[in-house]
């Protein structure tokens, strides 16, 4: 679930400010630029950061909207939207998802009109439908579950100003999740040296 700057400070014997700057530099250096998602691709959105305004999900919340695109059994990438609207979601989908893909979303009406050769399949969360055969957004929801557990359990608070850096870390951990730790450290160092 990650490591806090406080823990890095204690472990390395440096000030909290030094540890905080160091972990953010690492997060900057491991940014993923994966595009051209193909195969079965899921897209979903959630809200991250701050306290939820009582009774408000989505519209009216002060949290940041985070959108994830991911391939089943493959890579993920996240995007921050200032405003959740059809234009923003369609722009991201059309820019980063290969037209040959099979596209999966929930029934948020803002996804309507997106066209992919493999079709656009929808699960109707509003009707308590979460899986229909291989049609689901469970992989995207699993990704967001890991993000939110890290925020609650390790970081406690993520400001909108630094959200992109934390998302870099979450993407990196997800995209390399099946790699052994020793190799993963080498990959992270390589990213840092090339960045």
* Averaged pLDDT score across all residues of the chain: 86
Reply yes or no on whether the pLDDT at 22 is more than 70: yes
Q: In a 3-state reduction of DSSP, which class is residue 195?
A: coil
pLDDT at position 194 is 57
- Alpha-carbon distance of 49 to 166, in angstroms, equals 11
**Interhelix angle for 16-29 vs 163-175, to 10°?**
60
- Alpha-carbon distance of 173 to 167, in angstroms, equals 10
> Helices (H), strands (E): how many in the chain?
6, 7
Would you mind telling me the total number of residues written for the chain in this entry? 195
- Alpha-carbon distance of 153 to 4, in angstroms, equals 10
Q: Which helix (H) or strand (E) holds 146?
A: helix 138-150
pLDDT at position 25 is 84
Average pLDDT over residues 47-67: 70
Which DSSP category does 111 fall into? Answer: G
What value does the CA radius of gyration of the chain take, rounded to a whole number of Å? Answer: 18
pLDDT at position 14 is 94
- Alpha-carbon distance of 116 to 90, in angstroms, equals 12
Reply yes or no on whether the pLDDT at 195 is more than 80: no
pLDDT-based confidence at residue 60 (cuts at 50, 70, 90): low
Average pLDDT over residues 34-59: 77
Residues forming a β-bridge with 77: 69
pLDDT in tens, 100-131: 999 999 999 999 999 999 999 999 998 999 99
Q: In a 3-state reduction of DSSP, which class is residue 119?
A: coil
pLDDT at position 193 is 56
Average pLDDT over residues 45-58: 67
- Alpha-carbon distance of 137 to 121, in angstroms, equals 10
Q: Quick check: 65 and 45 in contact, CB under 8 A? A: yes
Portion of the chain with pLDDT greater than 70, in percent: 89
DSSP per residue over 62-86, as a string?
A: SSEEEEEEEETTS-EEEEEESS--H
């Amino acid at each position: 679930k990650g490591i806090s700057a406080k823990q890095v400070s204690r472990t390395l014997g440096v000030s909290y400010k030094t540890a905080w700057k160091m972990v953010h530099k690492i997060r900057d250096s491991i940014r993923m630029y994966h595009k051209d998602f193909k195969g079965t691709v899921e897209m979903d959105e959630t809200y991250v950061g701050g306290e939820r305004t009582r009774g408000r999900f989505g519209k009216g919340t002060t949290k940041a909207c985070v959108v994830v695109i991911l391939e089943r059994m493959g890579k993920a990438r996240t995007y921050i939207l200032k405003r959740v609207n059809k234009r923003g979601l369609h722009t991201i989908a059309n820019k980063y998802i290969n037209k040959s893909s099979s596209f999966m979303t929930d029934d948020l009406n803002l996804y309507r009109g997106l066209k992919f050769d493999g079709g656009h399949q929808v699960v109707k969360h509003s009707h308590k439908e979460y899986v229909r055969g291989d049609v689901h957004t469970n992989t995207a929801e699993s990704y967001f579950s890991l993000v939110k557990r890290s925020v609650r359990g390790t970081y406690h608070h993520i400001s909108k100003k630094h959200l992109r850096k934390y998302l870099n870390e979450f993407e990196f951990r997800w995209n390399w999740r099946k790699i052994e730790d020793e190799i993963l450290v080498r990959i992270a160092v390589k990213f840092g040296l090339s960045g």
